[in-house]
Structure 1
C-alpha cells in the first residue's frame, strides 16, 4: 500500500507540473502567435439540437460523419431559419436519423465541445442538456439517465445510429465526431429501447482535407493518456477514406490508490466506388483496467425510515487496491448504401459488439454504524462475464408526391438483434471495514467453482413510417413496428426461464410551422423496453428482465425568433413498467411508473465574445399498481424532481484564440428506493475551464484546462438498487493537441 501511494504521489506531482506548464501557456501568450478561437462551450449542446435545421439542409445520410439512413425531410421539430452553426451540427454531426421526419429532440455535443470540456464519460458530456442526470455516479461505465429514467446497458447506447454497444466499459471518445442524446422516439427507430431516449455515438470519418494530430491529456492526480488521429482520402476521385484513432496510457483518480491503464484503437474506413454506391466500416477495440471504488449499501429501515450516513470523504478508497475491474470490448459495424434513383435509396448494415469483463471485485459497505462508520465490506467476486450483441438491418426510403401539395417521405425495413450474455455465479466475501476511516484490507480469494449462467434474447422488427408534408407547413408522420421477441435465461437455481411475445408499436406525430423560425409539434409512440439488468445485490444478480410496453407522449415548441437565440419548450408524459427489488430481494417488474415533466432550453451567441446556455427540467414521477401498497404513489428511486444547468463562455478580444468558460449543474433530491424511505439531498457541481488555440512551430495547437466540482462539494450523486453512490471530488484535467 505504501509503495502504491508513493508511486501515485510521484505521478500526481508530475501531472501537476504538466498542468502548470499548460496553464502558463494559456495565460501567457507572449511566446507564441495567437490564432482565431476554435473551442466551443457546453452551450453547443442544448441550443444546437440536430432536429433544429433548415428544410434545405442535406439529408444526414449524405454527410460523411452521419449514420442516418433517411432521405426524409428535416425533423418535425425543425426550424426553417436555424442558424448556420445549428445547421452544421444537424447536417454534419447527427448520426441518428434525426432528419427522418420524426418529431424528437436531439441534443448534440460537438467534437470541439468534447475537446474543450474533456468529459470523462457520457454523463459529463451531456449534462448541459435538459433532463440529463447521473444514474450511478462515477463508475466504470457511462451512467446516464434521460428524463429520470436510467438508460439500459444493452440497448440504450448506439454506434452511428445502428449497432447497440454494451455500456459495461467506459466508452472511448477519441474517435467520436459527436455524441447525441435522442429523446423520445427510440422505439420506432430502434425497436427494444428506453422510452426516454438513447445515447448515440457518431464516429469521425476521413474528410477531403487530410488530417493528422497527436495529443496528451491527464489530471493532476497522475493520469496521463496519449492519443493520435490520422485521416486520409486516396485513390481515383478520393474514393477511399481511412481514419485511424488510437489512445493509451496510465489512469488515475481523485480516490487514493485508484490506478489502472487503458488502450484503444478505432478505424473508420469508407469506399465510394460510384456516386450511387458506398461502403462504410467502423471498428473499435479497447480495454481498461482500474481499481473500483466500493458503493455504500442502505441500512435497514426503522419505523419506515432509513437513516443516511454523512457523506464520506470521496478521496478515500473503501475497497482496496486489489479491487480490480478488467474488461475489454470490440465493436464492428459494416454498412452499404445504394442510391437507386435520385429519390430512392436502400441500405444494409450488420455489426457485432462484444464486451468481456474478465475480473470484477465489486464491493459494498453494509450494516455500518451511521455515527462511527464501522461496518462490513461485502465483496462479490465476479469473473468471466461476456456480453455479445449481433445486429442487422435492411431499409429502403425515398420520397414521392401525391397531387401538387402532398410530399411523402416513406421508410420501411427490417431489423434483427441478438443479445447474448453469460453472467456466471458470484462468490461473496465479508470483511470488517469503516466508512469514515477505511483501513487496508487483504485481497479476497475465490474458493467456489464458477457456474455458467447464459442468457439470450432475440428480437426481429418490421417497420414502416411515412412523413407527409402539406404545403411545406404541416407534416404528419404515421408509423408501425411489429416486434417479435424471445428470451431464454438459465437460473442459478431451478430450470431455465423462457419468454416470448409479439408487440405492435404505433407512432404518430404532427408538426406545424408557425413561421420560418418557429414550429409546434406533438407525438405519441409506444414500444417495448427491457426493464433492466438486476443489480449485483439481487438474488437474481445480472439477470435481464423480460420487456414491457412503454408509452411516450410529447408536445412542444421550438423557435429562434427571440433575438436569434435557440429556444425549446416541451411537455412529456412517459408510462413504463417498474423494475424493483421485492421483499425477497429478487429484481422483478412490478407495477407501472409515470414520468410527467416540462423541459426547456435557451441559448446561443450574445455577440462574438459571449455565448451561453440555460437548460432545465421539472419532473413529476410516480409509481402505481405494485403488489406491495407501500410502493404505490411514490417517487421512483434515483429520479430527481428537477435538473438545471447554466453555462457561459467568453472569448476575450484582447487574447484571440482564448476562451474562458464556467458552468453550474444542479440536480434535485432523489429517493433512495421506491418506498421513499429516505432522500439524498439536491446537489450542485460547478465547473471552470480555459482554452487556447495558437500556432507553435507552425502547427495549430490547442490547449485546455478544466476543473470539475470546483467547490469540492461532498454529495451523494445517485441512489438506487439498495445503494448510495458518492459523487467525485474536485478534479483538474488538462489536454494539449497539435495538428500537422
Structure 2
C-alpha cells in the first residue's frame, strides 16, 4: 500500500478479527494504526508497526528512515501515565529544562531543547502549544520523531517532533467510565465514548471528558484541571472523507518555586523535594484550545488530495519565584530570598494550513511514491506585561509562608508582540526499486518571516532530504539519511537577562544510520546520529546567546513488544556525546553541552502469569546520567535512577462488561534528583502512588 495515498475511510479505534497478513493496496484505504487492530484472544502489545508522524504518516515502521519512539496506548495504560512526562520517559535522553514538573514540560531530546511552539503536533499536523501541559486521556498514542524534521514540518529544533494522536471511533462501540487518583489526595473522573452510525456507518464520533483535583508531593502545591474533546469522522462518499478534531483543556496549579543558578552552585546536597519556596497562591494557569479539520479526496486508485486547516490557542498566567542565598556565608543557615515576576497576559496562537497531492507513478520498473505540498504556519505572540517584584526573605531549609498578595511589584517589562510566518513548498519521492530497496529524495523551499518591534526579517533557504532503505528480509531493514533544516535558535529561558527574547533561525544538518528487525513479537532498533547546529547557551553575563557550533552525536537502541506470550517489554538506551565547538572562549571549547547526559536508559516489563492471565504485574527502571549545569562544566547534576512497580487486574462481568483495576508507584525509593537544568533548577518529584479503576460497557 502506498504510504502517501490518503484514506477515504476513517481509521477505527478497534476492530475484532484476525490481523491481516497483507494490507490492501488501494488508494482509498488508509493504513490503520497497529493498536487499532486487535488480534482475537491476545492482549494489546507494546510493539508498533505503523507510524503517524509527519511525512511518514501511515507508513510501516520498517520502511521509515528515521529514529522514532512510539508509546502506544497499551504502554501508557500499563505505566499509569497521566501526561507527556510519563510517556516520554520511555525515550532515553529526554530531560527537562527550567520548568517545574508540576506546572509545564520543557523537554530536551538528543541534547536539544524542543521548542514549545514548533515541536509538538496533533495528529501529525497542527502545531499545538506546549505551554499548557498536553493531556493524554483522549490520545491513542504518543510519538517522538527524533532529530531534524524540516522537510515536512519546516522550522523546528532538531531535537524531535512530539506527535499526539487522538482516539477515534472504530468498528467496536466504546463506552468507558473511569476514576483515578493518587496517595497525595488527587482524584479525577472521566468518560470515553465512541460510536459509528448512519448508513454503512459513515459517521464516527469519539467524545472524551475528564476533570480532576490535583495534589502534588510539594507542600501546598495543588490545583485542578479538566479536558473536553471530540473527534468526528464522515465518509461523505466513496472518494471523500472529512475529519474534525477539537479539544479544550485547562489547568490551574500553584508555582512551587525554583532554585537560581547562583544558589545551585553553593549546594552540596539535593534539597527536600517537598519544599515550596514560592509564595502561597502564586498562580500558574493555562487555557488551551486546538481545532483541526481535514479533507481527503481520492482522485482514483493512484492519486489523492489532502487539505488541512487548524488553529491552536493558548493563554497562560505565570508567576515565577527563584530562590538564592543572601551570600555564601548563609548557606548553612538557609537564609536567602526569592525574586521573580508575574505575567498575567501571555497569549499565543498558531494558525495552520496544508494542502497536498500524492500518488504513485511507475517508471521503468521503479514505482515512485510522490508527494507535493504547501504548508503555512503563522505564530502569533501577543504583547505581554511582565511585572517583577522586590526580593522577599525566605529560608531554604524551613520555607516560610509568603502571601502572593503581599508582594510589592516594582517594575514592568513589556515583551512586544511578534509574528512568525513559516511558509514551505515541498516535494518528496520514495522510489521502490524491487522489493528490497527504497530510495528517498526531497526538498523544501523555506520562506520564514519575522515581524516584531525591531522590524521585519525574511529568511529564505532550500532544505534537502535524502536517504536509502534496504530490506534484507521482509522483517528487517537498514537505512541511511541526510537532512538539513532551519530551526529557531530558541527563546531565552526563564531566569536569563534577556528572558523571552526570540533569536534568529540557524541551520541544522543531520546524518543518521540505523536498522530494525522483528524478533518474536517485538521490534528491535539501533541507530547512530550526528547533528551539527548553532550553539545556544547562557553566557557569564546571564544572557542567552547563539555562538559557535554544537555537535550532537550518539547511538540509540530499543526493543519493544512481546518477547514471550506472557512477557511484554519496552527497553531502550542512548549514548550521547554533545560538545561545544568554535565558541571563541578557550575555557568552554570542547566542553559538554549543559543538561546533556552521556548515558540514559529505560527498562519496563509487564508479565501476565499463565495461571492468571487477567493479572498483570510490571516494573520499570529509568536512568539519567550525569549532566553539567553550565556551559563551563563547573557544576554537576548527579546521575540518578528511579524505579517503578505496578499491577493491574481485569475483571470480566456479564453482558460484555469489564472492570480494570490499576495501581502504579513511581520513584519508589524516594530518590532525590534534579529534574531540570537550565538557568533555574527544580528537584524531581518524591515518591508517588497512583490508582485507577475503569469500566467498559
TM-score of the superposed pair, with normalisation by structure 2: 0.90
- Partner Cα separation in structure 1 for residue 525 and residue 337 of structure 2: 49
Alignment partner of 2:151: what SS? Answer: helix
Does residue 695 (structure 1) correspond to residue 656 (structure 2)? The answer is: no
8 Å Cα contact 1:688/1:706 also seen in 2 = yes
Please say which of residues 230-239 and 581-590 is displaced more in the overlay.
581-590
Q: Secondary structure at the match of 1:89?
A: coil
Q: Distance in 1 between matches of 2:160 and 2:255?
A: 28
How big is the shift at 1:627? 4.2
Q: Could you tell me which residue of structure 1 aligns to residue 487 of structure 2?
A: 529
Residues 454, 146 of structure 1: alpha-carbon distance in 2 compared, 3 angstrom cutoff = same
CA spacing shift, 1:408–1:723, aligned 2, 3 Å? same
Q: 2: distance between equivalents of 1:84 and 1:593?
A: 44
- Paired residues for 1:303-382 under 5 Å: 306-357=265-316, 359-367=317-325, 369-382=330-343
Match of 1:659 in 2: 616
Deviation at 1:62, TM superposition (A): 4.2
Question: Counterpart of 2:7?
Answer: none
Q: Deviations over 1:477-505 (max 9, x none)?
A: 00100100011223xxxxx2433210110
Q: CA deviation at 1:584?
A: 3.6
* Contact 1:66-1:94 at 8 Å conserved across structures: no
Instruction: Please state how far the C-alpha of 1:439 moved relative to its aligned partner.
Output: 1.0
Match of 1:453 among 416, 433, 436: 416
Which of the numbers 63, 80, 96 marks the counterpart of 1:118?
Answer: 80
Corresponding position of 1:519: 477
**Residues in 2 aligned to 1:403 and 1:252: alpha-carbon distance in whole angstroms:** 64
State the partner residue of 1:538.
Answer: 496
Is 1:393 aligned to residue 354 of structure 2?
yes
Q: Deviations over 1:405-452 (max 9, x none)?
A: x11001111100111112523222211112221111132254656746
SS at match of 2:150: helix
The equivalent residue for 1:41 is: none
Alignment of structure 1 residues 432-471 onto 2, 5 Å: 432-443=393-404, 444-446=407-409, 451=414, 453-471=416-434
User: Aligned pair 1:414/2:374, yes or no?
Assistant: yes
Alpha-carbon contact 1:571-1:596 (below 8 Å) kept: yes
Q: Which residue of 1 aligns with 2:70?
A: 108
Q: Which moved more, 1:664-673 or 1:497-506?
A: 497-506
How far the C-alpha of 1:611 sits from its partner, in A, is: 2.3
User: 1:184 Cα shift?
Assistant: 3.1
- State the alpha-carbon separation in 2 of the partners of residues 416 and 153 from structure 1: 18
Distance 1:427 1:59, change over 3 A: farther
Tell me the alpha carbon deviations over residues 168-193 of structure 1, each in whole angstroms, 9 at most, x when there is no partner: 01111111011111123511121111
Per-residue CA deviation, residues 604-663 of structure 1 (Å, 9 max, x unaligned), is: 323222222321111111011224333321111111111011112111223231100000
- SS for the counterpart of 1:514 is coil
State the secondary structure of the residue aligned to 1:124.
Answer: helix
CA contact under 8 A between 1:96 and 1:160: conserved in structure 2?
A: no
Q: Call closer, same or farther: CA 1:59–1:362 in 2, change over 3 Å.
A: farther
Matched with 1:170 is 133
Equivalent residue number for residue 628 of structure 1: 585
Equivalent residue for 2:242? 279
Offset at residue 96 of structure 1 (A): 6.6
For residues 702 and 571 of structure 1, do their structure 2 counterparts lie closer, same or farther at Cα, with a shift above 3 Å needed?
A: same
Equivalents in 2 of 1:166, 1:373: separation in Å?
38
Q: In the aligned structure 1, how far is the partner of 2:141 from the partner of 2:252?
A: 26
CA offsets, 1:266-315, max 9 Å, x none? Answer: 011111111210111010111111012111111289xxxx4434211101
* Segment drifting more, 94-103 vs 172-181: 94-103
Aligned to 1:44: none
1:66 and 1:96 in contact (8 A); partners too: no
User: Secondary structure in 1 aligned to 2:587?
Assistant: helix
Q: Is 1:182 matched with 2:145?
A: yes
User: CA 1:600 to 1:87, structure 2 compared with 1: closer, same or farther past 3 Å?
Assistant: closer
Q: Deviation string for 1:99-123 (max 9, x for gaps)?
A: 4565112221112222222223213
Q: Which residue of 1 aligns with 2:629?
A: 672
User: 1:346-395 CA distances to partner (integer Å, 9 max, x unpaired)?
Assistant: 100010101001x2221111235443322111121111000100110001
Q: What is aligned with 1:76?
A: none
Distance 1:94 1:298 in 2: 37
Counterpart-to-counterpart distance in 1, 2:51 and 2:24:
10
The answer for the alignment partner of 2:529 in structure 1 is 572
Q: 1:546 to 1:598 in 2, by over 3 A?
A: same
Tell whether the 8 Å contact from 1:123 to 1:143 is kept in structure 2 after alignment. Answer: no
Unaligned regions of 5+ residues in structure 2, if any?
1-19, 35-41
1:215-294 alignment to 2 at 5 Å? 215-294=178-257
Call closer, same or farther: CA 1:423–1:532 in 2, change over 3 Å. farther
Alpha-carbon spacing, 1:409–1:596, altered in 2? closer, same or farther (3 Å): same
Between the aligned partners of 2:207 and 2:183, the Cα distance in structure 1 is: 28
SS in 2 for 1:266: strand
How far did 1:64 drift? 8.3
Q: Would you say the 8 A contact 2:521–2:563 is kept in 1?
A: no
Report if the CA contact (8 A) 2:52-2:58 is conserved. Answer: no
Of Structure 1 and Structure 2, the greater helix share is in 1
2:563 maps to 1:606: yes
Per mean C-alpha deviation after superposition, the further-off stretch among 586-595 and 504-513 is 586-595
Structure with greater strand share of residues = 2
- Corresponding residue of 1:80: none
- CA distance change for structure 1 residues 605 and 66 in 2, over 3 Å: closer, same or farther? closer
C-alpha contact (below 8 Å) 1:95/1:201 kept by paired residues? no
CA shift at 1:245, angstroms?
0.5
Aligned CA distance change for structure 1 residues 598 and 235 (closer, same or farther; 3 Å):
same
Q: For residues 292 and 394 of structure 1, what CA distance do their matches in structure 2 show?
A: 41
Q: Distance in 1 between matches of 2:29 and 2:107?
A: 30
1:125 aligned counterpart, secondary structure: helix
Match of 1:685 among 626, 642, 652: 642
| Superposition TM-score, scaled by structure 1 size | 0.85
d(CA) in 2 for partners of 1:435, 1:54: 62
Paired residue for 1:554?
512
SS of the aligned residue for 2:499 comes to: coil
State the 1:338 CA deviation. 0.5
1:738 and 1:217 mapped to 2: Cα distance?
A: 12
1:618 equivalent among 575, 598, 616: 575
Q: Is the 8 A contact 2:46 2:569 kept in 1?
A: no
Corresponding residue of 2:104: 141
* Cα shift readout 1:511-532 (whole Å, capped 9, x = no counterpart): 1112222221100000011121
**Aligned partners of 1:630 and 1:351: how far apart in 2?**
47
- C-alpha change, 1:739 and 1:95, in structure 2 (3 Å) is farther
Contact 1:282 1:334 in 2 (8 A): yes
Asked whether the equivalents of residues 223 and 253 of structure 2 are also in contact (C-alpha less than 8 Å), the reply is: yes
Distance 1:565 1:159, change over 3 A: closer
Instruction: Using the TM superposition, give the Cα deviation of residue 676 of structure 1 relative to its aligned residue in structure 2, in angstroms.
Output: 1.2
Check the 8 A contact 2:23/2:31 in 1, yes or no.
no
